[in-house]
């Protein structure tokens, strides 16, 4: 479907600078813009591409002031990044809705299936499952006994949800996500072997949570591992047993959180972060990529970096000295040589 710059501006409460009749039927990155596509500019680092892009229409912030000639039509909006997100969401909503249950799916007769549900090929819906309205279950998804899934949730191919877990409304679980696998619980024995501790809890994922591909959320030994509403998890994340992640926290790829740790609300965790078990991380904490958190963070809105992590500004100052260590070592050697020469001269 084609849209004009004027229609886009009207939808976004923006204004057109150029041809309001310019049409687009696809989107593109501004540095790879093609005729008939819509691009956006929000990061000043990409401004140079605006003057050469072949995109027909580009979204820009309302206060943007070009420094060169522009051949495309601009649509000025309050926030170009939020505007493109809104348009992409609209595009997704305009796709034909998936509905119906595949004849190749296995749906237990005791399962309760809501209205307008899609269940793809070779999906398995076990005994006692309750699936809310408008849930989309893609091919080869496994849903164990007594699982609850809220309305408007999407489970992409290969998702596995173990028995007894609860998934809220408007959640998105990407391909390969595993929810409710056993926590890593083993008791050491006198003969150096380990006895497995049964993991009898579950996982509770609240509303509007997104979990990236191949991430794993372990069930609690007792009680629940809890992912609070609005949490966004990237790909390849490990959340161990009995962890709780507070609302609206975002965590980047390859992060691991050990058992029984409580991460607060509104936190931001960079990629490849490791957090040891039985810790508390305060609300609003920011943890830089590749940091190792080995102690409680009790003060809200703290920024930490390093392994073991500590206060961000102190880390930055320390790192400046760390990079100078070779030169400092050379100076120290020279001083030692000078002192030794002075000592010998005095003898």
φ and ψ at 269, to 5 degrees? -120, 125
- CA 144 to chain CA centroid, Å, is 25
313/306 Cα distance (integer angstroms)? 11
The pLDDT tens digits of the residues spanning 37-60 come to 999 999 999 999 999 999 999 999
Percent of the chain with pLDDT over 70: 100
Q: Would you call 248 exposed, middle or buried from its count of C-beta atoms within 10 A (0-12, 13-18, 19+)?
A: middle
pLDDT of residue 148: 98
Cα 237 to Cα 144, 213, 250, 265, 270: the distances in Å are 22, 9, 11, 18, 11
161-216 confidence digits (pLDDT tens): 999 999 999 999 999 999 999 999 999 998 889 999 999 999 999 999 999 999 99
**What's the sign of the alpha-carbon dihedral 290, 295, 296, 299?**
negative
Per-residue confidence (pLDDT) for residue 92, from 0 to 100: 85
Catalytic status, residue 138 = no
Q: Which residue in the list 121, 174, 241, 278 is annotated as catalytic?
A: 241
Greater confidence (344 vs 50) lies with 50
Contact 229, 170 (CB under 8 A): no
Confidence (pLDDT) at 88 = 92
How does pLDDT run across 246-277, given as a tens digit for each residue?
A: 999 999 999 999 999 999 999 999 999 999 99
What is the tally of helices (H) and strands (E) in the chain? Answer: 5, 40
């Amino acid at each position: 479907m084609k849209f004009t710059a004027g229609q886009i501006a009207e939808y976004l409460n923006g204004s057109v600078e150029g041809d309001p009749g310019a049409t687009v039927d696809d989107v593109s990155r501004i540095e790879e813009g093609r005729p008939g596509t819509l691009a956006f500019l929000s990061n000043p680092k990409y401004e140079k591409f605006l003057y050469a892009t072949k995109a027909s229409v580009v979204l820009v912030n309302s206060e943007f002031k070009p420094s060169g000639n522009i051949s495309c039509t601009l649509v000025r909006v309050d926030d170009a990044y939020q505007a493109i997100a809104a348009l992409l969401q609209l595009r997704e909503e305009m796709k034909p809705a998936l509905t119906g249950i595949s004849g190749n799916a296995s749906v237990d007769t005791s399962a309760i299936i809501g209205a307008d549900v899609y269940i793809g090929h070779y999906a398995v819906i076990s005994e006692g499952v309750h699936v809310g309205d408008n849930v989309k279950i893609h091919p080869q998804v496994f849903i164990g006994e007594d699982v609850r899934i809220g309305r408007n949730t999407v489970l992409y191919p290969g998702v596995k949800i173990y028995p007894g877990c609860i998934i809220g409304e408007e959640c998105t679980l990407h391909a390969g996500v595993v929810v409710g696998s056993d926590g890593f619980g083993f008791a050491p024995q006198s003969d150096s072997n380990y006895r497995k501790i049964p993991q009898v809890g579950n996982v509770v994922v609240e509303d509007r949570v997104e979990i990236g591909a191949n991430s794993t959320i372990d069930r609690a030994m007792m009680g629940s591992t809890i992912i609070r509403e609005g949490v966004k998890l990237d790909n390849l994340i490990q959340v161990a047993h009995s962890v709780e992640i507070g609302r609206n926290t975002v965590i980047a790829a390859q992060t691991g959180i050990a058992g029984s740790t409580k991460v607060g609300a509104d936190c931001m965790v960079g990629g490849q972060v490791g957090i040891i078990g039985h810790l508390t991380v305060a609300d609003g904490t920011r943890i830089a990529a590749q940091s190792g958190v080995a102690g409680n963070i009790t003060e809200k809105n703290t920024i930490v970096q390093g392994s073991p992590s500590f206060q961000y500004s102190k880390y930055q100052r320390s790192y400046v000295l760390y990079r100078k260590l070779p030169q400092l070592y050379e100076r120290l050697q020279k001083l030692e040589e000078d002192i030794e020469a002075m000592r010998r001269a005095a003898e």
